[in-house]
Amino acid sequence: MQAHSKLVFSKLLSDTDIKKRLAVPSAIQSSLPPFNGGHALIFHFLHGTRFWPILYSIRTKGYKKPDFSGRLWRDIVIYNNFNVGDIFTLYRVQVEDNSSYYMAEVGREIDFLGINVMAYSSGSTAEEKVITHHHQEGLSLELSLGQPNVVGADNSKNLLLTSQYRALPSSTFSI
């Protein structure tokens, strides 16, 4: 089954985003679950291999200012070791059966052999890193850095480097 992802928003994480709440751009509210007359709800998004509950709320008076906040947000930040300067990106994934879910990636832009690329950790252990570089022609280069699994070798000092090219449509990507 093929799924298509659409970018909801992307944000460079600040100190406040890490310690208290992630401010969500007001312009993307229509891309998130509706409040249906309320001011807060909990929805789930996929990050790594796990679905995380998140409190999504707006102020009840004045400027609505949406955010992800509270204990649920802090649990995600702490468990996944998010840091100031990381980039949080939320996607809405549409599946062929017309169902959808949200998926988040958190990465950091790094200089890899003179090219600015995004490095994503997989889950909380950060033992494997995925480095992605998107080209304007719709190509993606993914490098997976992880420990090799060699019996009888000192695996702690070696990294396994694999690469993969994929052609991607310019506005969406497939998972």
Q: What is the CATH number of the domain that holds 83?
A: 2.40.330.10
Name the token pair of 80. 């996944």
Alpha carbon distance 54, 52 (integer Å): 6
- Rounded mean pLDDT of the chain? 75
Other Cβ atoms within 10 Å of 42 Cβ, number: 12
Domain of 93? 3-174
Class of residue 77 by CB neighbours under 10 A (exposed 0-12, middle 13-18, buried 19+): buried
What contacts 146, CB < 8 A, 6 or more positions away?
127, 128, 129, 159, 160
Q: Tens of pLDDT along 28-60?
A: 999 999 999 899 999 999 998 999 999 999 988
Give yes or no for residue 130 having a pLDDT over 60. Answer: no
Q: Count the domains in the chain.
A: 1
Give yes or no for residue 162 having a pLDDT over 80. Answer: no
Span 140-159, average pLDDT? 50
Span 16-38, average pLDDT? 93
Q: What is the pLDDT of residue 141?
A: 52
Looking at per-residue confidence, does 42 or 174 come out higher? Answer: 42
Q: What is the pLDDT of residue 158?
A: 41
pLDDT band at 168 (very low <50, low <70, confident <90, very high): very low
What contacts 34, CB < 8 A, 6 or more positions away?
none
Q: What is the pLDDT of residue 108?
A: 77
pLDDT band at 15 (very low <50, low <70, confident <90, very high): very high
